[in-house]
Amino acid sequence: MSSLDRILPFLKLIEDLLVDPTVTEVMVNDGGRRVFVERDGAIEAVAGRTLEPRNLTVAIKNIARACGDEISDVQPLLDARLEDGSRVAALFPPCAVAGPVLTIRKFTRRYTLGELVQIGALTPETADRLVGAVRAQQNILVSGGTGTGKTTLLNALAAHIPDADRVIVIEETAEIHLNKPNVLRLEARRAQASLGQEAPLPPVTIADLLRASLRHRPDRILVGEVRGSEAFDLLQALNTGHLGSMSTIHANSSEQALARLAHCVLTANVGLPHRSTREAIALAIQVVVHIARVDGRRQVTELLAIRGYDTAADRFLLEPCLRLTSPRSGGLS
């Protein structure tokens, strides 16, 4: 039985959407009154498809139980992962104002870097530059918006890590899969009561796992996404000899990614001055690659090399290696 098969009995009214190979995400809004799907990178409404709010509520609770989790008025958020990597997220009122909502992001197959070139996500020249950066043990930050393919790109890049390297992968939800002989996969844990537990289990954060990972002799560290104070621990790790590491971050451009990373470091409240933070980032990160949606398709649009930090001018010294010159060319500038 596949992972989706476990939840299909609870979602008969949208089963056809979930099993449709062209659909990558199913979104049920407003208590079931509106249904949307993502197909070929574009979101579209599904006409004439509605679910009763009461039935949707029951379905979401059953899905949570099938995932070994729970959702209720007391705990109105669900963020679960199926065995195949598919993601299930749900919200109950009062957090969801118009009624329960459900989003299912289906697992899609992992692409190689060569396949990403074939579908036009990046040019062969850009792929060669990135492979060179991986082999040269440069630390890489992948930036982009939600659903742009950051993890897909990181997976494809990580495939070029030498087999001799010991790699530790740290994520909130396990999505990175490396076919390497020496990989340690770690997943954070939220503070949430599991079924049968009287008290919630204490959280294990990305920052906790980053600190713990250093005791397991990593050559490279992959962090699925940096979004908060764990950025400080990541910088500490990158600046203490763990070369060739990678992470992703939500941002609208490569330069904004660096600014957001600096902000995340400052939220750790360790007293690191603004300029010292930016200087530490310049030492820790050598390459920023940005992926975005262009005409509804995912495409690498920027590639920056970080050459240092100008303390007097308070700015990063950046060398643009790629600027998108036309919507589909991905051409080098």
In a domain, 270, yes or no: yes
- 322 forms beta bridges with 303
In a domain, 147, yes or no: yes
pLDDT level of residue 329 (50, 70, 90 thresholds): very low
Range with lowest mean pLDDT among 45-54, 143-152, 190-199 = 190-199
Residue 268 has pLDDT above 50, yes or no: yes
To the nearest whole number, what is the mean pLDDT of the chain?
Answer: 89
Q: How much is the average pLDDT of 41-55?
A: 89
Do 140 and 207 lie in one domain? The reply is yes
Do 74 and 160 lie in one domain? The reply is no
Do 97 and 163 lie in one domain? The reply is no
d(CA 244, CA 34): 44
Q: Which CATH number do you get for residue 215?
A: 3.40.50.300
The per-residue pLDDT for range 278-291, each reduced to its tens digit, is 999 999 999 999 99
d(CA 255, CA 270): 24
pLDDT of residue 192: 60
Q: Which of 105, 134, 162 is the last residue of a domain?
A: 105
Q: How much is the average pLDDT of 239-253?
A: 94
Q: How many CB atoms lie within 10 A of CB 178?
A: 16
In a domain, 54, yes or no: yes
Do 267 and 214 lie in one domain? The reply is yes
In a domain, 61, yes or no: yes
Do 81 and 206 lie in one domain? The reply is no
Residue 190 has pLDDT above 80, yes or no: no
Residue that the structure tokens 């963020």 belong to: 79
Q: Which of 105, 125, 155 is the last residue of a domain?
A: 105
Do 97 and 128 lie in one domain? The reply is no
pLDDT of residue 332: 33
Q: Which CATH number do you get for residue 96?
A: 3.30.450.90
In a domain, 100, yes or no: yes
d(CA 216, CA 231): 19
Q: How much is the average pLDDT of 74-87?
A: 85
- Domains of the chain: total: 2
Q: Which of 45, 76, 105 is the last residue of a domain?
A: 105
- From residue 174, give the alpha-carbon distance in Å to each of 80, 84, 95, 238, 267: 10, 10, 26, 21, 24
| 3-state SS assignment for residue 281 | helix
pLDDT of residue 83: 76
pLDDT of residue 324: 66
Do 70 and 128 lie in one domain? The reply is no
In a domain, 299, yes or no: yes
**Cis before residue 200, ω within 30 degrees of 0?**
no
In a domain, 138, yes or no: yes
Do 255 and 138 lie in one domain? The reply is yes
Do 171 and 205 lie in one domain? The reply is yes
**pTM score, two decimals?**
0.82
Tell me the DSSP string of 143-174. EE-TTSSHHHHHHHHHTTS-TTS-EEEEESS-
Residue 53 has pLDDT above 80, yes or no: yes
Do 99 and 165 lie in one domain? The reply is no
| Domain coverage including residue 40 | 3-105
Max mean pLDDT range (6-10, 65-69, 286-290, 296-300)? 286-290
Do 185 and 240 lie in one domain? The reply is yes
Do 91 and 120 lie in one domain? The reply is no
Angle (CA) 46-151-80 rounded to 5° is: 60
Percent of the chain predicted with pLDDT > 70: 92
In a domain, 333, yes or no: no
